Amino acid sequence: MSAQESPSQPVLDVQGVHKRFGGQHVLRGIDLTVRQHEAVVLIGASGSGKSTLLKTVNLLEQIDDGRIVLAGDDITDPRADVDAVRARIGVVFQHYNLFPHMTVLANVVLAMRKVFGAPRAEAERRGLELLARIGLGDKAGEYPDRLSGGQQQRVAIVRAIATNPELLLLDEITSALDPQLVGEVLDLVSELKAAGSTIVMATHEMSFARRVADRIVYLKDGVIIESGTPEQIFDHPQRPETREFLARVS
């Protein structure tokens, strides 16, 4: 059954997930449920496990214990088809999202063509429409290095959503950008959220998190210390660890 057929079924259900790198216990029993159209923002110090958590969901890292369920399917079952799972999830990282040797349009249509077998004309029509929507229609034929970092990240985002993924994972997508370029990228994320995307995002942009997140999850040393609405976490944190973290970053 898909998430569309069962509105009460979470899009993502992370259950008791543990991850170790050698002797280092990096995720220590993570439970996280994300429902359709929700935006969940992961906050926490560098090294707290945010990226590792996102990577386990995209099956870029194997978990040592627990389960991850995507719209009813246990994707951490060893029999799961990794490529099929990844095709259902859009991902954008901090760096190097676009293939430098391909034009902007070729980047955007790649997954539509290769993963979903869309005919070239149809994929290019949708690609151009997406680029026009973010004001970059005139850049379709350019190579990524001719675009600003903010433009490149916006292209990476529309590439990630071109195939209508069930879930969008965004990992510090503005951390490498010059400050004046951050806004245009976060505005696009806000638009996707408003349009109904289901998003899990790691970010240090606290004012954005407050404005756009349905839920904030504070991670420390691989443990969810506290989660709640932006008001709960930012204005009334219950745990001393959360208060200390917020005092340091604000």
- Binding stretches for Mg ion (CB under 5 A): 50-51
According to the 3-state scheme, what is the secondary structure of the chain?
CCCCCCCCCCCEEEEEEEEEECCEEEEEEEEEEECCCCEEEEECCCCCCHHHHHHHHCCCCCCCEEEEEECCEECCCCCCCHHHHHHCEEEECCCCCCCCCCCHHHHHHHHHHHCCCCCHHHHHHHHHHHHHHCCCHHHCCCCHHHCCHHHHHHHHHHHHHCCCCCEEEEECCCCCCCHHHHHHHHHHHHHHHHCCCCEEEECCCHHHHHHHCCEEEEEECCEEEEEECHHHHHHCCCCHHHHHHHHHHC
Q: Which CB atom, from 175 or from 232, has the smaller least distance to ligand ADP?
A: 175
Strand partners, 215: 40
The distance of closest approach from Cβ of residue 51 to Mg ion in the complex, given in angstroms and rounded to an integer, is 3
The distance of closest approach from Cβ of residue 44 to ligand ADP in the complex, given in angstroms and rounded to an integer, is 6
Taking Cα atoms as reference points, which of 36, 41, 45 lies closest to residue 8? 36
Q: Which CB atom, from 218 or from 234, has the smaller least distance to ligand ADP?
A: 218
**Pairwise CA distance, residues 28 & 119, whole Å:** 44
56 makes contact with ligand ADP (CB under 6 A):
no
Answer for which of 38, 40, 51, 226 binds ligand ADP (CB under 6 A) is 51
The distance of closest approach from Cβ of residue 47 to ligand ADP in the complex, given in angstroms and rounded to an integer, is 4
Q: Which CB atom, from 112 or from 170, has the smaller least distance to Mg ion?
A: 170
Answer for which of 5, 8, 23, 46 binds ligand ADP (CB under 6 A) is 46
| Binding range to ligand ADP, per CB under 6 A, among 46-54, 79-87, 193-201, 207-215 | 46-54
52 makes contact with ligand ADP (CB under 6 A):
yes
The distance of closest approach from Cβ of residue 24 to ligand ADP in the complex, given in angstroms and rounded to an integer, is 6
The distance of closest approach from Cβ of residue 56 to Mg ion in the complex, given in angstroms and rounded to an integer, is 13
The distance of closest approach from Cβ of residue 135 to ligand ADP in the complex, given in angstroms and rounded to an integer, is 30
| Binding range to ligand ADP, per CB under 6 A, among 10-18, 47-55, 137-145, 178-186 | 47-55
Q: Which CB atom, from 51 or from 197, has the smaller least distance to Mg ion?
A: 51
Residue 107 touches which of Mg ion, ligand ADP, none (CB < 5 to 8 A by kind)? none
CB atoms within 10 A of CB 147: 17
220 makes contact with ligand ADP (CB under 6 A):
no
**Pairwise CA distance, residues 34 & 215, whole Å:** 9
- Name residues contacting ligand ADP, limited to 18-37 (CB under 6 A): 21, 26
Task: Point out which residues bind ligand ADP (CB under 6 A).
Answer: 21, 26, 44, 46-52
